[in-house]
A and B are shown apart, each in its own frame.
Chain A
């Protein structure tokens, strides 16, 4: 399997255009090419179905998933998240005071480029900023509380099209490019990049799992993974992807992770939020 990936990459490397000049960033061109690649490779998959990850790639898996969607395994985390969302902080304020539209149906706007800090702010980071601004301790990005709360917020955005903005600010463009670099760079002792699995091999197996396409891969997060027996945040998924290819994960919500989430979410603009998701 690894040889196939190597061969595919070698072919891409040989046929690719010359190396970019530093400073070349054209998100709109990338967007078009990215979308064309996936829709041409999978002509039978309806565009909006890509957000269902492996289920858009494998009919047998899809049937199992659809049967479970009546009682999705994330039901309990969702209820917990709803309760957490509506519980006021010690100072009487709630999450509704921090977010536009009272925090309902806003997930599809994240990650956001923050002009003041020049940083990419993901939903999870925004939640902790809200907590700290109101005298509460931040949640651990990798643990259940953050997963449950983001599950609820994602649920209120279900069906809404991803809507990521890259303003004409060199810092935003730089973050986008860094995210793109992270996505396509090989890492870990297994020498795999995110693209190696999710661009080169969607629909194929990695051990027993069916690989999801990179197009729309952020839309279902956070996800309940049967493997975890529970709900896991976006950070949990990114860090475990790293360790699974024998790469030491960076601290959760590091700049690199926020940038790659920015890049991937932008690539999915227009595709519906399907979170919270259920995966094998």
Chain B
């Protein structure tokens, strides 16, 4: 199955800028469907980025983050060709991860 994660990381000088798009419903648990029933909460809880064995970014998400979240951040270090791993866990215990290369 295709990954839910798309990632683009570009190194420039000693900084790497990372962008990612993750496909996920991110249901807050507060919204009702057309029949008036609450749509149960189904959202990512933790997103992590690892480079060179170290965690460079952690996001703790919850009901306030919208569907198909887009994320952008920079970290020091990383050069072209290095591997960058992204992984997420949601409140139902589902996970996905992706290893991308820094450009």
Binding site for B on A (CB under 8 A): 67-68, 70-71, 73, 75-76, 79, 226, 229-230
How many A-B pairs have beta carbons closer than 8 Å: the answer is 23
Query: Does residue B8 face the partner (Cβ distance < 8 Å to A)?
Result: yes
Instruction: Report chain B residues within 8 Å CB of A226.
Output: 66
Choose one: B6, B67, B72; the contact of A75 (CB below 8 Å).
B6
Question: Once the chains bind, are B72 and A73 in contact (CB under 8 Å)?
Answer: no
Looking at chain B's contact residues, the main secondary structure is strand
B39 to chain A, nearest CB (A): 12
Instruction: Report chain B residues within 8 Å CB of A71.
Output: 6, 8, 19-21, 70
Known: A73-B21, A75-B6, A76-B23. A68 touches B66 (CB 8 A): no
Question: Once the chains bind, are A70 and B23 in contact (CB under 8 Å)?
Answer: no
Known: A71-B20, A73-B21. A230 touches B67 (CB 8 A): yes
Query: Does residue B96 face the partner (Cβ distance < 8 Å to A)?
Result: no
Known: A70-B19, A71-B21. A229 touches B66 (CB 8 A): yes
B49 to chain A, nearest CB (A): 15
Query: Does residue B68 face the partner (Cβ distance < 8 Å to A)?
Result: yes
* Identity of the chain A residue whose Cβ is nearest the Cβ of B2 in the assembled complex: A79
* Identity of the chain A residue whose Cβ is nearest the Cβ of B72 in the assembled complex: A67
Contacts A/B (CB < 8 Å), 9 sampled: A70-B8, A71-B8, A71-B70, A73-B21, A76-B23, A79-B2, A229-B66, A229-B67, A229-B68
A128 to chain B, nearest CB (A): 24
Instruction: Tell me which residues from 5 to 43 in chain B have a Cβ below 8 Å from any Cβ of chain A.
Output: 6, 8, 19-21, 23
Most chain A CB neighbours (cut-off 10 Å) among B20, B68, B70? B68
Instruction: Report chain B residues within 8 Å CB of A70.
Output: 8, 19
A243 to chain B, nearest CB (A): 15
Bound CA span A229–B67, Å:
6
Choose one: B2, B8, B68; the contact of A73 (CB below 8 Å).
B68
* Identity of the chain A residue whose Cβ is nearest the Cβ of B7 in the assembled complex: A71
Instruction: Tell me which residues from 64 to 103 in chain B have a Cβ below 8 Å from any Cβ of chain A.
Output: 66-68, 70, 72
Instruction: Report chain A residues within 8 Å CB of B2.
Output: 79
Seed contacts A73-B68, A229-B67, A230-B67; 8 additional CB < 8 Å A-B pairs? A70-B8, A70-B19, A71-B6, A71-B8, A71-B19, A73-B21, A75-B21, A76-B68
Question: Once the chains bind, are B67 and A68 in contact (CB under 8 Å)?
Answer: no
Bound CA span A229–B69, Å:
10
A227 to chain B, nearest CB (A): 10
Choose one: A73, A79, A229, A230; the contact of B70 (CB below 8 Å).
A73
Bound CA span A71–B71, Å:
10
